[in-house]
Structure 1
Amino acid sequence: MKHTMSRHAFYSLTVTFAILSILGQVSTSIYSPFFFDLAIVYGSPVSVIEQSVAVFLVAFSFSQLASGIACDYVNKQTFLFFGILVFIAGTLMVALASDQATFLIGRIVQGLGGGVGVSVSRGLSRQIFNEKQLNTSLSLINIAFAIAPAIAPLVGTLIGEYFGISAIFYFVLVLGLLALILLFSVSHKLAQYMLPATENVLSDTLALIKSTITKIVSTGMASGLLYGMVFCFITSAPSMIMQQFGLTKTLFSLYSLIATLSFVVGSLLNIRLASLSPLQKFKRSSLLIALLSVLFGLTVFCGFANDLLIILAYCYTMFFFIGIAMPCSVTIMLGFSKTSAGFLAALTGFFHLTGAAIGAYAVTLLTLEPTVAFSLSTCILSLASIIICVTFKKH
Structure 2
Amino acid sequence: MILNKSLNPQHQGVSTILAFALIPLSGFATDIYIPSLPTMAATLQVSNIQVQLTLSLFLISYGISQLFVGSLLDSFGRYKINLISLVIFAFASIVIANTANIYLIYLMRIVHGITVGAIVVSKRAYFVDVFSGDKLKNYLSMFSIIWATAPIIAPFAGGYLQEYFGWQANFYFLAAFALIILVLELIFSGETIKNRMEFNIKKIGIIYADMIMTTSFTLGIVMLGLSYCMVMIYNMTGPFIIEHELNMSPVVAGYSSLLLGAAMMVGGLISKSTINKPFTKKLSINLGIQLLFGFAMIVSVNYVSNLYAMIFFAFIIHAACGYTFNSFFTFCLSRFPKNAGIAGGLTGGINYVIVSFLSYGIIYLIPAKDERNLSHSYIVLILFSVAVMFLIGRVTKNNKTF
Deviates more, 1:51-60 or 1:164-173: 164-173
Show the 5 A alignment for 1:1-395.
5-6=9-10, 9-131=11-133, 134=136, 138=140, 142-187=144-189, 190-191=190-191, 193-197=192-196, 202=204, 205=207, 208-209=210-211, 212-274=213-275, 276-300=277-301, 303-334=302-333, 336-357=335-356, 358-367=358-367, 369-392=369-392, 393-394=395-396, 395=401
Residues 90, 108 of structure 1: 8 Å contact kept: no
- Return closer, same or farther for 1:326/1:37 CA change in 2, 3 Å cut-off: same
CA RMSD of aligned residues (A): 2.7
Partner of 1:71: helix, strand, or coil?
Answer: helix
| 5+ long unaligned stretches in structure 1 | none
CA-CA distance at 1:138 after TM superposition: 4.8
Partner of 1:73: helix, strand, or coil?
Answer: helix
TM-score w.r.t. the length of structure 1 is: 0.88
1:23 alignment partner AA: L
- Return closer, same or farther for 1:137/1:328 CA change in 2, 3 Å cut-off: closer
2:53 alignment partner AA: Q
CA-CA distance at 1:218 after TM superposition: 2.2
Residues 31, 154 of structure 2: 8 Å contact kept: yes
2:9 alignment partner AA: M
Residues 84, 117 of structure 1: 8 Å contact kept: yes
Structure 2: how far apart are the matches of 1:222 and 1:314? Answer: 21
2:228 alignment partner AA: Y
Residues 278, 332 of structure 1: 8 Å contact kept: no
Partner of 2:196: helix, strand, or coil?
Answer: coil
TM-score w.r.t. the length of structure 2 is: 0.86
- Return closer, same or farther for 1:76/1:49 CA change in 2, 3 Å cut-off: same
1:14 alignment partner AA: T
Partner of 2:3: none
Residues 241, 308 of structure 1: 8 Å contact kept: yes
- The number of equivalent residue pairs is 386
| 5+ long unaligned stretches in structure 2 | 1-5
Structure 2: how far apart are the matches of 1:268 and 1:309? Answer: 24
Structure 2: how far apart are the matches of 1:226 and 1:172? Answer: 26
2:235 alignment partner AA: I
- Return closer, same or farther for 1:108/1:207 CA change in 2, 3 Å cut-off: closer
1:109 alignment partner AA: V
Structure 2: how far apart are the matches of 1:91 and 1:227? Answer: 24
Structure 2: how far apart are the matches of 1:274 and 1:368? Answer: 34
Structure 2: how far apart are the matches of 1:292 and 1:272? Answer: 23
CA-CA distance at 1:316 after TM superposition: 0.5
